Each structure stands twice: as C-alpha cells, then as structure tokens.
C-alpha cells in the first residue's frame, strides 16, 4: 500500500487561465438551491489518463498537451463565464452572488509532476487515503471572496496524467461540474476556432426558472437555521479523515446487480419495515440500479464498521435528488447550470443496516422514499431536514451519504488521448460517503469508491465479495 510519504509533487507552474479577452463584466445570482451549500467543503474529483504510447516522453506533455489544455480551457470558459469569477458578498447585498471581472479573474491552474507510478494509482486495491490529495488543487475561500473552481494537471512521466478539479458546491452540483468537464474535453479535441458545443453541453443560466417557485419558499427557513446572521464566505473546515484510512474502488457488474435484485424481491413481502407504511406501494417488478447499489453498499459499510467498533451500530442514509425537468413547475431544463438537487433522508430505523436482512429492509425504504418524492414533490420533508440531521447526530447515528451518479457518464470524457482509466471523487473522505459512477466497461455496472479505516475496509472487502457469491 503506497503512502503519501513515498511520492512527491513538483509544481512546474501556477497560472490563471481567463476566458477570451472580449467578454464583459457579468454577475450571477445564487438561488435557494445554491445557498444551502454556501460553506460546504469543495467537491474534488480526479480523472486519470494513460498516454496512448508507453514511450511518450515529458516533452509531449509540456509542449503539446498542456498548451492545448490551456487554450481549450479558455475557450470553454467563454461558455461558462461564472466559473472564471468568484463568489462575493458586498455589504449592500442581502445575499452573495457570483461576479466575473474581465482582465482580473480567471481559473487557477496548477501544472505539476508526480514521481508515483501511475499503475499503482489505477489499482482498485486499497491505497493510503491521503495519496489522492496530491493530485487535487486547493480552492481558495475567505470571509469576503471564494473561488468557484480550481484545476490541477499532473504528469506521471512516461505513463500518463491526471486532471484534478475542486469545485465550490454553491455554484455547481455534480451534473453541472460534469457538463463543464465534458465541454472542456469536447473543445480540446477541436482543431481550430470557432469552437462549438453540442446543445446538451450549452449551459442554461437563467435563474428565473427557480427564483419564483412558490414550493421552494420553505427552503428559506432551512437556510436561516444553517447560517443565522453569518455573512462569511469562508468554507467550513471539513477536514479529510485520513489517519489510518484507505481508499478503494469496488465494482458491481450487471450480473451482480441482478443477483442482489432477485434476492431482495424474493424477500420483499416477508420483510415488514413498518406496519403502517409497508403496504403503501405494491411490490415492484424490478428495482433501479440506484436502489440496489445504495442498499447493498450501505449495509456492507455499516456491518463493517460495527465489526470493528461494536458501539457504532446506528446508521442513516442520505441522498440527493436531481430536480431538473421533472419535479418542479414549470420544469427546469436538463442543461440548467447550478445547483438543482435537494437532500433526503431514508426513513429507516438506525439499527436496520446491521440486521440480517438489512439489504432488503434498506432497499424497501429507499424505494418507498423515491416513490413518495415522485408523488409529493421534491420538497417532501424539506422543512424538517436540518432538524432531523441534528437529531440523528446528537443520538450518535452515523449518517452515510452518496456522491456522484451513474448517469453522469464520466468514463466517456475524452480529451483526445482516450477515455479515462479511472475517475475518483476524492472528497468522499470528508464524511462517511461513497461515490458512485457508471462502470468503465460501459456494460451497465456500477463503480463504487469509498474511504474507510483500514481495519473496517478489510471487513467491508470480505462482506462485499462474500455477499455476491450467495445464489
């Protein structure tokens, strides 16, 4: 297992990449969806790529690849102008907003080099949790100003490179972040200007579709509980949990998911989760990849933690719902750029995750929650979400959460040298979070990344694989 001490990072350049110089000053308001995440930790993701030829030398990286990445980044920013600016909160403004000043602003870009063997980084076996932090950049924030994104391109000599991105969650969610990366990759492959984006990658910034939504007024009360009389933009210190922790990636194939689904559905009517609600929805004919993945991984995680620490036996699961184009009136466009997600807690008992039929119990509860959201709207339960989180925390309940989505298509992002060998959500190490993505082979499986105490990870590994061997 590699550690951070076994590698070093050399910084070759730290620059700011602006959009083309013809653009004018602009600003973008933050919605209630955005403000919820105002002081949340940065979302960090790394894309790892191998060079097409194993004999590619460093001159290709510095003389060809880096200039191409810089040029295409600048051209991309003309379509995503707020990303080149900063979050500001002037004294005469009730709420913060994003502001871009031409000639002054741009995206922070670090060009670095690692002495680590890329093959080791690409392994799915556990690595020191701190290792990945060498390849993601810092995102600046202070009381009065916060950067929107920062980027780092790291060379692994003779083998490949990585692109690390840190994003401010108050400006963009996972779908928006992925849209930007896809647009950058698309323009990186275009040989000459003018550069065009396919329609689904053209961002929609019009906040009017959200601002006057009557159903969202309840979020104002939630925000007042989170940030009472607090005008600072400084990101709260969510420190990564790195001591004695390891990072690993696990795969669920289509066959694995089918096996879990059959097992859950076979016990669906035998396992009663609540006398009053058990018959709210009839037994489904199938279950989504999301339900199957989250129930299986959360139960394996809970049981692994309890296997090391007997006193940690209470758990809860939270997830976010994408509200675009389906849950609000009028519908929000699928290419809306910003935050358009809202969090929900699964209605499970804290001890459900360590029960013998925990996967069935949790799967039923996730399924019921999704059905209730579909029937009642995205704000279902929004008024009490903060109170519930605080109550669970005070009761010693470990709250698990989910980052990423299998719908983002991260393994299709090609900057001209082929698709990524690995994509990682580094920031899952700041809480008990697991990241999910579409499988690299494109065959309908799921890739799951998580960071756990090294002893917990050993038990998780055993439980995860043993459960897939049961017919």
**Is pLDDT of 124 > 90?**
no
At residue 194 the predicted structure's pLDDT band, cuts being 50, 70 and 90, is low
Tokens (6 digits) for 243: 């001591």
The pLDDT score that the predictor gives to residue 22 is 73
Residue 111 forms part of a structural domain? yes
Does 296 lie in the same domain as 395?
A: yes
Q: Mind listing the pLDDT tens digit for each residue in 390-401?
A: 889 889 999 999
Residue 233 lies in a domain: no
pLDDT value of residue 218: 63
Do 260 and 169 reside in the same domain of the chain? Answer: no
Known active-site residue 169: yes
Has residue 425 been placed in a domain? Answer: yes
Number of structural domains (the chain) is 2
Q: Pick from 198, 226, 254: which residue ends a domain?
A: 226
> Do 437 and 362 share a domain, yes or no?
yes
122 to 47, 54, 65, 216, 295: CA distances (angstroms): 11, 15, 21, 42, 26
List 41, 133, 168, 169, catalytic entry: 169
Closest to 400 in 3D by CA, of 468, 465, 456, 439: 456
In a domain, 235, yes or no: no
The reply to whether omega before 317 is within 30° of 0 (cis) is no
* Shared domain check, 189 and 256: no
CA distance 242 to 251: 23
50-59, 125-134, 275-284: which has the minimum mean pLDDT? 275-284
φ/ψ of 299, rounded to 5, equals: -70, -40
- Identify whether residues 293 and 200 lie together within a single domain: no
Is residue 282 over pLDDT 50?
A: yes
More confident residue, 194 or 362: 362
- Residue 311 pLDDT > 60: yes
> In the prediction, which pLDDT does 225 show?
60
Average of per-residue pLDDT across 414-438: 96
- Together in a domain, 202 and 253: no
Please tell me the distance from the alpha carbon of residue 209 to that of residue 226, in angstroms, as a whole number. Answer: 24
* 208-261 pLDDT tens trace: 888 665 556 666 666 656 555 578 999 988 889 889 999 999 999 999 999 999
Is residue 131 domain-shared with residue 256, that is, in the same domain?
no
- Reported as a single tens digit per residue, the pLDDT across 106-122 is 999 999 999 998 988 89
pLDDT band at 24 (very low <50, low <70, confident <90, very high): confident
Here the CATH number for the domain that contains residue 54 is 3.30.559.10
Whether 230 is catalytic is: no
Alpha-carbon separation of residue 398 from 215, 298, 353, 368, 389 (angstroms):
30, 11, 11, 21, 10
Tokens for 347, please give them. 């209605």
Q: Using CB atoms within 10 A of its CB, is residue 271 exposed (0-12), middle (13-18) or buried (19+)? A: middle
Q: Is residue 300 part of a domain?
A: yes
Query: What domain range includes position 38?
Result: 4-226
* Within-domain flag for 303: yes
- Is the pLDDT reported for residue 131 higher than 70? yes
Q: What's this model's pTM, rounded to 2 decimal places? A: 0.94
Same domain, 21 and 122: yes
Cβ atoms within 10 Å of 87's Cβ, excluding its own = 23
* Helix and strand element counts for the chain (H, E): 12, 17
Is 239 within the bounds of a domain?
Answer: no
Q: Which of 342, 431, 427 is nearest to 379 (CA)?
A: 342
Does residue 192 sit in the same domain as residue 306?
no
* Among 191, 226, 261, residue at a domain's last position: 226
pLDDT of residue 221: 61
Residues 6+ apart with CB under 8 A from 254: 443, 444, 445
Mind giving me the DSSP string for 236-303?
P------TTEEEEEEEE-HHHHHHHHHHHHHTTTT--S-TTTTTSSPPPS---HHHHHHHHHHHHHHH
**Range from 290-294, 322-326, 366-370 that averages highest in pLDDT:** 290-294
Query: Based on the domain organization, do 192 and 278 belong to the same domain?
Result: no
Judged on CB neighbours under 10 Å (0-12, 13-18, 19+), 221 is exposed
The residue annotated as part of the active site, out of 117, 274, 414, 461, is 414
Say whether both 322 and 434 belong to one domain: yes
| Residue 46 sits in the same domain as residue 176 | yes
Residue 353 lies in a domain: yes
Determine the pLDDT at residue 3: 41
């Amino acid at each position: 297992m590699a550690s951070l001490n076994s590698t070093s990072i050399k910084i070759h350049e730290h620059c700011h990449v602006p959009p083309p110089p013809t653009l004018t000053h602009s600003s973008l308001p933050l919605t209630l969806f955005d403000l919820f995440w105002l002081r949340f930790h940065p979302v960090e993701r790394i894309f790892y790529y191998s060079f097409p030829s194993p004999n590619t030398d460093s001159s290709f990286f510095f003389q060809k690849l880096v200039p191409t990445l810089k040029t295409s980044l600048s051209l991309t920013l003309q379509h995503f102008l707020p990303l080149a600016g900063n979050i500001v909160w002037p004294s005469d403004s009730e709420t913060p907003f994003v502001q871009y000043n031409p000639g002054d602003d741009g995206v922070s870009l670090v060009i670095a080099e690692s002495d680590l063997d890329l093959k080791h980084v690409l392994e799915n076996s556990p690595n020191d949790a701190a290792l990945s932090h060498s390849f993601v950049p810092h995102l600046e924030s202070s009381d009065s100003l916060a950067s929107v994104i920062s980027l780092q391109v790291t060379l692994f000599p003779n083998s490949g490179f990585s692109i690390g991105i840190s994003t401010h969650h108050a400006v963009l969610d996972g779908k928006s972040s992925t849209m930007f990366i896809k647009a950058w990759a698309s323009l990186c492959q275009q040989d000459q200007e003018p550069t065009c984006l396919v329609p689904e990658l053209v961002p929609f910034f019009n906040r009017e579709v959200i601002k006057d939504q009557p159903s969202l007024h309840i979020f104002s009360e939630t925000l007042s509980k989170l940030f009472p009389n607090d005008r600072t933009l400084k990101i709260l210190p969510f420190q990564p949990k790195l001591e004695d922790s390891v990072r690993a990636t696990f795969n669920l194939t289509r066959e694995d998911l089918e096996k879990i689904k059959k097992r859950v559905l076979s016990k669906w009517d035998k396992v009663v989760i609540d006398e009053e609600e058990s018959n709210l929805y009839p037994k489904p004919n199938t279950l989504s990849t999301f339900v199957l993945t989250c129930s299986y991984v959360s139960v394996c995680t809970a049981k692994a933690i309890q296997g090391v620490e007997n006193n940690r036996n209470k758990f809860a699961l939270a997830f976010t719902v994408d509200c675009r184009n389906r849950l609000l009136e009028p519908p929000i466009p699928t290419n809306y750029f910003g935050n358009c997600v809202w969090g929900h807690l699964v209605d499970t008992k804290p001890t459900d995750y360590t029960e013998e039929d925990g996967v069935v119990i949790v799967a039923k509860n996730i399924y019921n929650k999704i059905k209730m959201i579909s029937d009642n709207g995205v704000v279902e339960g929004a008024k009490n979400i903060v109170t519930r989180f605080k109550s669970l925390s005070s009761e010693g309940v470990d709250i698990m959460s989910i980052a990423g989505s299998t719908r983002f298509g991260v393994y299709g992002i090609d900057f001209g040298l082929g698709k990524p060998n690995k994509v990682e959500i580094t920031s899952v190490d700041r809480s008990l979070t697991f990241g999910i993505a579409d499988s690299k082979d494109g065959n309908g499986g799921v890739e799951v990344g998580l960071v756990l105490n090294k002893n917990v990870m050993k038990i998780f590994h055993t439980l995860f694989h043993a459960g897939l061997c049961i017919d």
